[in-house]
Structure 1
Amino acid sequence: MAKYRQNLPQLANRTFLSDGGMETTLIFHEGIDLPHFASFPLMATPKGRQQLKEYYVRYLTIARQSRTGFILDTPTWRANPDWGKLLGYGSEALRVINEDSIALLLELRREFETPETPCVISGAIGPRGDGYKAGQMEAGEAQAYHAAQVESFARTDADMVAAYTMNTVEEAIGIASAAKAARMPCMISFTVETDGKLATGMELERAITMTDEATDGSPAYYMINCAHPTHFMQALKKGEKWLDRVYGVKANASAKSHAELDESETLDAGDPDDLGRRYSGLRASFPTMRILGGCCGTDHRHVAAICEACVPQAA
């Protein structure tokens, strides 16, 4: 039975940490080959599973030491039909990978969870296409496309599903609708360009409002990921009601644009301490943002710096 599916603890007013940029860490720091930027194939071998466990343990240790909660996201951002086909995985193989990834995180939760560090198991979903380029699906098509992955997670003891790097409102609506149909709590995380808008040119406020309107407010909450704070801060204004729906951030380490990062052959890890200070300022201005992690270019050092800047016990 899912432990938190009916009562997500991150909805209460307490801090939760999340991991950093999984794929960039594994590629650039661990030297692991990830074709098509996909980490889920590591689940297919004992060695790969161990590499993933070691990755998660670094972050879980920070959370337990700082007495914060933790969101454990599966390594399944690319585990959908189109990317799976490119990597030689059919629908049944993807189902097994998605379900096994939850089992891996449940093992970690049993080892690391304490009353002060609740660990939420989250099935991670990514866009059908490139996270840096706007897709072309309508909402109904997106719901049908992502339903299999959502349903795979729903059959396990996962607490929720989380859609990361959404760059069109239609795909966000589709995933939220698929989660609603499967009775799974859902988080939607949008990414923005350097102008603070989605790749389609839509404002972040409008994307969140439209998703809520189309799904009767079914997402449990929203986040922002895969963009540097200097990119999205301009889209956030104190006192605006829609920001009450935004509960967290997983920012990039680099202030470079998506296009620049896409073409880069080296890792821009930015400045962890500077990122921590920016998160602290973000929290001061927008107290609802309680889920803190990283995205491309970040690793456990960045999350530790964010924790030190934002969580009194860790100072």
Structure 2
Amino acid sequence: MRLLRVGPPGAERPAALDADGILRDLSSVVAEVDGAFLADRAALAAVAEALDAGTLPEVARATRRGAPFARPGKVVGIGLNYRCYAAESGAAMPERPVVFLKPGSTVCGPEDGIDLPPGSTATDHEVELGVVIGRALRRCDDPARALASVGGYVAVNDVTERHLAADGPTWAKGKCCDTFTPAGPWLVTPDEVADPQALALELRVNGELRQAGDTKDMAFSVAELLCYLSGLMTLEPGDLVLTGTPAGVAAGRPDPKPFLRDGDVVELEVEGLGRQRTPVRAAGRSDERSVG
């Protein structure tokens, strides 16, 4: 299934694309696309049955799309997980996954816009495969069980303000700004993703191809990441795991580095997970709105 949340910020309702690509309202079947829903097999089956029946009301295509899942309890990021990215940055591949946390307030819809923080000098783009947890996972050492815990896959942009990230001792300040995790357009259930290690990713800024990679280039696979993270913390239904980005970020390019600026448009796609088109806005120019 391809799940979405549509409507005004803070008042999104669940939706899904049917077999014909028509957007259908799920409000009569499920209250929210969240961890509780993703962990409920009966609820997932009920949604699939309702979509097959073809009786759910259609949603207008112009309706705003929010993040396709409710605000996560935690967002867990992974750094330096693509060999091509490590080579580009001149960094050695880590022996263990590099882990950082982002607040759930960074998550926004795929077209809501990236708000540059005040004084932004080096805001960068990072196309990534996102993994939303569907079943709690704790101290797991079985890759098959780790993958079975996945509730869905999603295209994300792990936006980073490099200047703030470098103002250590951790990357947190460069990762935590509102709108720094555009997600969507869809949350795709695992039955529609044959192999998470065989997905092409690409990102363009103002039509220029900046990043192009494939999840097969990951140093640590999705299953390995989930096993490792579950030994550090319990991964709970609804949590979002970001799995790293391939080469081509602005920080890895020659000077003057093409960091994001007011008026830019970022388009990205992960194979089978849909395409985002996100405008970039200067501090003070964005509309007041809720994220999520």
Pairwise TM-score range, normalised by the shorter structure:
under 0.3
- Bigger relative contact order, structure 1 or 2, given CA contacts below 8 A and separation 6+? 2
Give the TM-score taking structure 1 as reference length: 0.26
Structure richer in helix, relative to its length: 1
TM-score, structure 2 as length reference: 0.27
Q: Identify the structure with the greater strand proportion.
A: 2
